[in-house]
Amino acid sequence: MAKQYWLFKAEPEDYSIELFRKDKKTYWDGVRNYQARNFLRDSVKKGDEVFIYQSNTDPLAVVALAEVVKEGYPDFTAMDPDNSHFDPKSTPENPIWFMVDIKLTKVLKTPVLLSELKKNPKLKEFKLIQRGNRLSVMPVTATEWNEILAMSEK
């Protein structure tokens, strides 16, 4: 299958890029939205590339690139009562929530700001900038991927 591209959102309070820089590799836990879950469980494949986007912070921007190193498997934080993402409905026999593992490929020298993405006419269709979008895992087309990368290298 051809390589696919994704965008993962993170709030720096939850998981910052500084921490990712230290970890190098991490499990992407805490996704509690069914549409995003379906992507993680069914569509995100090993070798796919991922934009890491920081939300609810300043600046709002795509800040790093990552690569999927392990495909969807049950999110164990949903089964840990002490975890803030605990969901009693998810059990080892019947897990509801899924995660993938990613490794850091590159921290962008110049983050691509949300405000810049919105200004780019080529990215009019990009899901992230659509009004009301709340998905924390979303597909990115190859065209969008390349365009956004190019914006970072200026």
**58 to 77: interface string for DNA, x by CB under 7 A:** --x-----------------
CA dist 99 and 50 (Å) reads 14
In the structure encoding, which two tokens stand for residue 106, read together? 């590159």
Interacting positions 110-129 with DNA (CB under 7 A)? 114-115, 118
Q: What residues are paired with 74 via a beta bridge? A: 98
Among 11, 23, 80, 125, binds DNA (CB under 7 A): 11
What are the distances in angstroms from CA 90 to CA 27, 74, 137, 154? Answer: 18, 9, 20, 45
In 10 A of CB 128, how many CB atoms?
21
Residue 91 contacts DNA per CB under 7 A? no
Interacting positions 19-58 with DNA (CB under 7 A)? 32-35, 55-56
Residue 141 contacts DNA per CB under 7 A? no
Residue 3 contacts DNA per CB under 7 A? no
